[in-house]
Amino acid sequence: MELKLARTALNGKPKTIKFEKIEEIIEESGSQIFYFDKENQSKDLVKLTEYFEKKDFSVYTRGVKYGLNEGDYMHEVHIL
């Protein structure tokens, strides 16, 4: 499964990352905060949460607004 990482520029295209790559990053650092693009569906973020909770990680997800428009947000995910 892949998710789109948050854009680094407003007109840029989001890069993708696989669950396995996220797991590698977490195993190296112990915990990590990821920012995902608004184009990701909620059900995919739920799948991410379930995937890591099955592996005994704690996962916290929230939306982060970065502008005044309703569509100016991203998903912040803490995996511990």
Pairing of strands 73-79, 16-18: unpaired
pLDDT in tens, 21-39: 999 999 999 899 999 999 9
Residue 9 pLDDT exceeds 90: no
Which pLDDT score, from 0 to 100, does residue 70 have? 87
Which of 7-11, 34-38, 42-46, 59-63 has the weakest average pLDDT? Answer: 7-11
| CB burial readout 41-76, b (16+ within 10 A) else e | eeebbeebbebbeeeeeebebeeeeeeeeeeeebbe
Instruction: Please report, for the chain, the start and end positions of each structural domain, with discontinuous segments joined by +.
Output: 2-79
Residue 75 pLDDT exceeds 90: yes
Mean pLDDT of the region 54-79: 93
